[in-house]
Structure 1
Amino acid sequence: MDRRQFVRNSTLALCTLPVMRAPGDRPAHHIQADSMPDWLQTLVKQADKSIESLLTFQTKDSKSPDLGGLRDGFDLLNPHSTAALIQYGASGLFSPGSKFYRSKELLASMDLAALYLIKTQHSDGTIDLLSTNFHSTPDTGFLVKRLTMAYRLIEQSGTEGADKMLLNLKTFLVRGGDALSVGGIHTPNHRWVVSAALTKLNELWPNPKYVARAEQWLAEHIDIDRDGQYNEKSTFIYSSLSDRLLITIGKGLKKPELFDAVRKNLDMTMYYVHPNGEIVTDASGRQDKAIVGTLENYYYPYRYFAIKDRNGEYAAMCRLIEKTAAMKTAGFLDYFLTDPSLWAELPADKPVPVDYVKTFPNSGLVRIRRDRWDSTLIANNPVWFTFMKGNAVLQGVRFASSFFGKGQFQSEKIIENGKEWVLTQKLDGPYFQPYPKESIVADGDWEKMPRNFRPQSEVQILETKVMIWETPGGMEIEVATNGTERVPAALELIFRPGGTLKGVSKIENTKDSWLLKEAAGSYELGGDTISFGPGLALHKNIALRGALPAMEAPTVFLTGFTPFKHVIRFS
């Protein structure tokens, strides 16, 4: 299970917290909590629901060795769920509009949570992510980054008795800072997680080793390409995370040059938006690949720069997120509460791109959008085409043949040829001759006679070419093969669950597989309809050897044999 899933099961949703000073360290800048705008008050109310839920997962038995810890959906006590109570609880203590405002009872539960974190913290200052990472510096960074912000909110809340809890929280954070100052990472974004956590610690308790370690990671430069995308290409999870972290580091270490990468990514992301407000995830190199995701994770960076730069396009993106995913932004409430500059009104909107053809060569992606419909072409992926029209979603097209058990089509690149985009694949299927006599092993062990040393014969070739072009109101695809003949093949149209298919025939003994025999079919969802056709149904063999298994979604198949040649239209 990945971190995102673990956190979700821990009822953490998308949130993590920041840090504050211990009483007496130095005075905190006062935030006028009673002057919050209405949108922020709404998020506070939403966060109250998370606090209520988290409290139900906490161990309260005073005799239990697990006192104060929180369990996740798998009944595992873990530091992530436990830290979530402190993160969300801090927003409640701080916000006058919260039912938990200055709550002594909630503070006591948060203190137990802080003590549990100290108890589960290793001697080196790290914590474990029970699903995969142990003695994990990066996971310590995720928690420290957000718990520093929680510390600050608790300190400024004026909650009676907070001093004791803050001292316990400081113990955890400072020990974590020791780990972050020397520990290693796994992935590109972990460098910025660690650096941002160290930056926040340094704001609370200045320490040269915090800054030196962050500078060491920053010396590797930001992993952003010419398209405006980070190395992991994780548009739903880690690109937006990197944006938030680089803002934190840039502000805290006074390095505004880091903002250039964030702006570049935000500019690119405007072209990754589907008409229904979802984000394109097809080219991701992480666990969010091809998931259905909205834009809430980008709300903070878009709002930050919309206000800072008076950028109307970014303001329009914020309003789009407010329209399509407003309540999900409560996961970043601590960001908004600790930075009152974000409480300002957004500037006036400036139109964002909704009519374009945009190529992202480093991501192997082409985006075509015409207001209410859009299409994505993807290289290095068995799903190489999507088409969305409002609520109706063709979430993928695949093509496969039973060619030697390796006939799943995908193209290494997308080539633009005039007004067409071309994807290609060439496969070979050889047979093998007797092993060279002088090299035959005495014991006849097959494994000792590698196939690459055998002469080949009867080599079969199958070349597939996919051509895609835009038409008025939609897209067309031509799939053509040449080479070996009579190979069963199937074109697979994968729709999002929940809609209604028409003009197609159910394939017996399948859950949700259909053949398009007629001239045209359609898929309707939420008042929007995708029309597709013409059909082709020369056989019912949809479980081709070597092809990927069918997805858990309504899927329409067009079937034939090589040489396969068919044009299908989507509108």
Structure 2
Amino acid sequence: MHRRRFITLGGTSLCALPILTSTAFTFINKNDSKMPPWLVELVKRNDNSVENLLKFQVSDPKSPDFGGVADGFGILNPHSTSALVQVGGNAVFSPDSKFYKSDELLEKMKLAVLYLLKIQHSDGTIDLLSTNFHSTPDTAFLVKRLAIAYTLIDRSQATFAQSVLTELKKFLLNAGEALVKGGIHTPNHRWVVTAALTRLNGLWPDTRYVDRANEWLGEHIDIDADGQYNEKSTFIYSSLTDRLLITIAAGLDKLELLESVRKNLNMTMYYVHPNGEIVTDASGRQDKAVVGTLENYYYPYRYLAMLDKNGSYSAMCKMIEETAGGKIGGFLDYLLADSTLWEALPPVKALPLNYVKAFPISGLVRIRRNRWDSTLIAKNPVWFTFMKGNAVVQGVRFASSFFGKGQFQTEEVKANGAYFELTQKLEGPYWQPYPKDAIAPDGDWEKMPRTNRPQSEVQHLETNVRIRETKEGMEIEVSTNGTERVPAALEIIFRPGGELKGVTKIEGTKDSWLLAANTGTYTVGSDTISFGPGLALHKNIALRGALSPMDAPTVFLTGFTPFKHTIRFS
């Protein structure tokens, strides 16, 4: 597992999606309602995004890349270029923007669209230069953004709007030809393409768009009994799927799809750390174990809070505003498109802050007691986290040098009375001579599979971890049975930024420590985690077969099998 790492988002999101609240693609706001202060603030931040993107636009008419927008690596690409059209659409539509109805900005946006037309393939697709080429799903991501921009530009009634819309329509209709027949890579891509088709059908009705959308929807929504989608990607793709399903439900009059969104939003309320971060440890995608907040869920929670008059969803919106308010601007187009979302949220209800909640399909158990929480994780070498305010144990691991395969990992987290149990059983055999009648004549080792050799002197090592809640926090007991004198180490990995006390630096390491004392502490600001007692019977922390140390402050407890030790966190 990768170290939990920070993810930051700017004022725009390449996956920002357009919205609707009716059962057809109608544009509710006609720009005659005064925006609330929080929305005005997002509009002003969007202006900063416009200015930043304009700095990267090619302005030389003689350049073959004229009008295109480069990314931070200096690479011209359709995503950065379409982002200028998206944030520009937000700006020219909004009276509080310095670019409101700006002909100068619209001219820049037209050049960007012309560049998009230039690099669009004849089949209607575009490239995601980091990995996908002639990509239908990546084309769909752009279509969803540009379709809402089309509507915002149109409704702005700006003088120069039509010249942009004429070219943008060409790009979108070309893309539609790819969407009605192109393929996908991942589960969420089905809904990306379907939402894009839905959006196009709202602008220019076409039975081919609807037929293809229904073909993808015929595979059914991939949500499990926990309330999670197939990819279990809590920071990126679960919230994306929520937004996509809202778009499809509204645009194709399939309101039953909103039930999947509700299930996921209900589950997500139990995936919140006390500081407003989201639990990502069970993700099957690139956001596994990243540090992220919940801004991506703001629109789904607000949409359904208003639709269902749901006070718990209102409370989630308030929490997101407090912990990640500056980041919800990536979905400004959603919020501009529906003035009903500008109204006050329904009265809030209390969020769950004290619970023990298991999600067996995802392999997680969540324990929260107001200001601290813990996550137990199956099928992951990091199987325990503990967070107390801003002080964070971002992972606990255990390993032994048992035949180079002693990194502990459990298949499931089992409840057993007051304890949760995690187990692993390993074997380390030796191999006898190959059967005489099957020996390779040329003596080639690869032609004599080890599975055909008789085993002998088989060694066994069973590791059991028992975890329980205490009055002050959590307790972990690690014990092993089987082969003796195997070096072992328990690893406590802290999020960088705090101060360790009561531990001893291991020579020759960047940030590795031993806990020999009874208690160690880790402090970040006013938050302190206490942990112990310690165990330091050796200094070998690079056990053969164990994962490499993470780039983070790490405290080791070391011993030999039979290993038995209990450590408490509070």
Alignment of 1:345-494 (within 5 A): 345-494=344-493
Q: CA deviation at 1:46?
A: 1.1
Alignment of 1:150-299 (within 5 A): 150-299=149-298
Residue 136 of structure 2 is matched in structure 1 by 137
State the distance in 1 between where 2:11 and 2:474 align. 41
State the distance in 1 between where 2:35 and 2:97 align. 12
Residues 213, 27 of structure 1: alpha-carbon distance in 2 compared, 3 angstrom cutoff: closer
Answering whether residue 517 of structure 2 is matched by residue 555 of structure 1, we say no
Percent of residue pairs bearing the same amino acid type = 70
Q: CA deviation at 1:298?
A: 0.2
Residue 306 of structure 1 is matched in structure 2 by 305
Q: Any conservation in 2 of the 1:104–1:159 contact (CA below 8 Å)?
A: yes
Q: Any conservation in 2 of the 1:19–1:173 contact (CA below 8 Å)?
A: no
SS of the residue corresponding to residue 568 of structure 1 reads: strand
| Amino acid in the other structure paired with 2:16 | T
| Amino acid in the other structure paired with 1:16 | A
Instruction: Deviation per CA, 1:396-452: give whole Å up to 9, x if none.
Output: 000011111111100000111011000000111111111111111111111111111
SS of the residue corresponding to residue 344 of structure 2 reads: coil
Q: Any conservation in 1 of the 2:27–2:337 contact (CA below 8 Å)?
A: no
Q: Any conservation in 2 of the 1:10–1:80 contact (CA below 8 Å)?
A: no
Residue 32 of structure 1 is matched in structure 2 by 31
Q: Any conservation in 2 of the 1:366–1:378 contact (CA below 8 Å)?
A: yes
State the distance in 1 between where 2:93 and 2:414 align. 55
TM-score, normalising length: structure 1: 0.96
Residue 502 of structure 2 is matched in structure 1 by 503
Instruction: Deviation per CA, 1:107-153: give whole Å up to 9, x if none.
Output: 11111110111111111111111111111111001000111000000
State the distance in 2 between where 1:290 and 1:300 align. 23
Q: Which range moves more in the overlay, 100-109 or 473-482?
A: 100-109
State the distance in 2 between where 1:275 and 1:531 align. 18
Residue 54 of structure 1 is matched in structure 2 by 53
Residues 17, 304 of structure 1: alpha-carbon distance in 2 compared, 3 angstrom cutoff: closer
Residues 446, 50 of structure 1: alpha-carbon distance in 2 compared, 3 angstrom cutoff: same
Q: Any conservation in 2 of the 1:533–1:570 contact (CA below 8 Å)?
A: yes
State the distance in 1 between where 2:130 and 2:144 align. 20
State the distance in 2 between where 1:13 and 1:547 align. 38
State the distance in 2 between where 1:554 and 1:109 align. 48
SS of the residue corresponding to residue 553 of structure 1 reads: coil
Q: Any conservation in 1 of the 2:125–2:134 contact (CA below 8 Å)?
A: yes
Q: CA deviation at 1:526?
A: 2.2
Residues 304, 227 of structure 1: alpha-carbon distance in 2 compared, 3 angstrom cutoff: same
Instruction: Deviation per CA, 1:44-72: give whole Å up to 9, x if none.
Output: 11111111111111111100111111111
Q: Any conservation in 1 of the 2:19–2:334 contact (CA below 8 Å)?
A: no
SS of the residue corresponding to residue 281 of structure 1 reads: coil
Answering whether residue 78 of structure 2 is matched by residue 71 of structure 1, we say no
State the distance in 1 between where 2:119 and 2:468 align. 57
State the distance in 2 between where 1:8 and 1:530 align. 26
Answering whether residue 16 of structure 2 is matched by residue 16 of structure 1, we say yes
SS of the residue corresponding to residue 456 of structure 2 reads: strand
Residue 319 of structure 1 is matched in structure 2 by 318
TM-score, normalising length: structure 2: 0.96
Q: CA deviation at 1:283?
A: 0.4
Residue 525 of structure 1 is matched in structure 2 by 524
Count of matched residue pairs: 561
Residue 515 of structure 1 is matched in structure 2 by 514
State the distance in 1 between where 2:63 and 2:483 align. 69
Q: Any conservation in 2 of the 1:17–1:147 contact (CA below 8 Å)?
A: no
Residue 23 of structure 1 is matched in structure 2 by none
Residues 11, 447 of structure 1: alpha-carbon distance in 2 compared, 3 angstrom cutoff: farther
Q: Any conservation in 1 of the 2:13–2:331 contact (CA below 8 Å)?
A: no
SS of the residue corresponding to residue 530 of structure 1 reads: strand
Residues 244, 444 of structure 1: alpha-carbon distance in 2 compared, 3 angstrom cutoff: same
SS of the residue corresponding to residue 98 of structure 1 reads: coil
Alignment of 1:99-138 (within 5 A): 99-138=98-137
Q: Any conservation in 1 of the 2:46–2:329 contact (CA below 8 Å)?
A: yes
Q: CA deviation at 1:13?
A: 4.0
| Amino acid in the other structure paired with 2:525 | G
Q: CA deviation at 1:161?
A: 1.3
Q: Any conservation in 2 of the 1:365–1:377 contact (CA below 8 Å)?
A: yes
Residues 11, 343 of structure 1: alpha-carbon distance in 2 compared, 3 angstrom cutoff: closer
Residues 258, 28 of structure 1: alpha-carbon distance in 2 compared, 3 angstrom cutoff: closer
| Amino acid in the other structure paired with 2:218 | A
Instruction: Deviation per CA, 1:23-44: give whole Å up to 9, x if none.
Output: xxx9966522551111110111
SS of the residue corresponding to residue 71 of structure 1 reads: coil
Q: Specify which structure has the bigger relative contact order, considering alpha-carbon pairs within 8 angstroms and separated by 6 or more residues.
A: 2
Q: CA deviation at 1:15?
A: 4.7
Residues 18, 66 of structure 1: alpha-carbon distance in 2 compared, 3 angstrom cutoff: farther
State the distance in 2 between where 1:10 and 1:49 align. 10
Residue 567 of structure 2 is matched in structure 1 by 568
SS of the residue corresponding to residue 361 of structure 2 reads: helix
SS of the residue corresponding to residue 476 of structure 1 reads: strand
State the distance in 1 between where 2:563 and 2:257 align. 51
| Amino acid in the other structure paired with 1:274 | H
Q: Any conservation in 2 of the 1:17–1:150 contact (CA below 8 Å)?
A: no
Instruction: Deviation per CA, 1:358-380: give whole Å up to 9, x if none.
Output: 00011000000000000000000
SS of the residue corresponding to residue 508 of structure 1 reads: coil
SS of the residue corresponding to residue 276 of structure 1 reads: coil
Q: CA deviation at 1:159?
A: 1.5
Would you identify which runs of 4 or more consecutive aligned residues in structure 1 move more than 6 Å? 7-11
Q: Any conservation in 1 of the 2:9–2:327 contact (CA below 8 Å)?
A: no
Q: Any conservation in 2 of the 1:58–1:68 contact (CA below 8 Å)?
A: yes
State the distance in 2 between where 1:420 and 1:432 align. 39
Q: CA deviation at 1:16?
A: 3.3
State the distance in 2 between where 1:11 and 1:315 align. 23
| Amino acid in the other structure paired with 2:237 | Y
State the distance in 1 between where 2:514 and 2:214 align. 58
State the distance in 2 between where 1:221 and 1:62 align. 48
State the distance in 2 between where 1:526 and 1:61 align. 50
Structure 1: tracts of 5 or more residues without a match: 21-25
Q: Any conservation in 2 of the 1:402–1:488 contact (CA below 8 Å)?
A: yes
State the distance in 1 between where 2:422 and 2:26 align. 62
State the distance in 2 between where 1:547 and 1:27 align. 57
| Amino acid in the other structure paired with 1:241 | L
Q: Any conservation in 1 of the 2:498–2:522 contact (CA below 8 Å)?
A: yes
Instruction: Deviation per CA, 1:192-245: give whole Å up to 9, x if none.
Output: 100000111011000000010110111111100011000000000000000000
Residues 201, 228 of structure 1: alpha-carbon distance in 2 compared, 3 angstrom cutoff: same
State the distance in 1 between where 2:387 and 2:44 align. 34
Structure 2: tracts of 5 or more residues without a match: none
State the distance in 1 between where 2:40 and 2:137 align. 32
Give me the CA root mean square deviation.
1.7
| Amino acid in the other structure paired with 2:117 | I
Instruction: Deviation per CA, 1:299-357: give whole Å up to 9, x if none.
Output: 00000011111110000000000000001000000000011111111011100100000
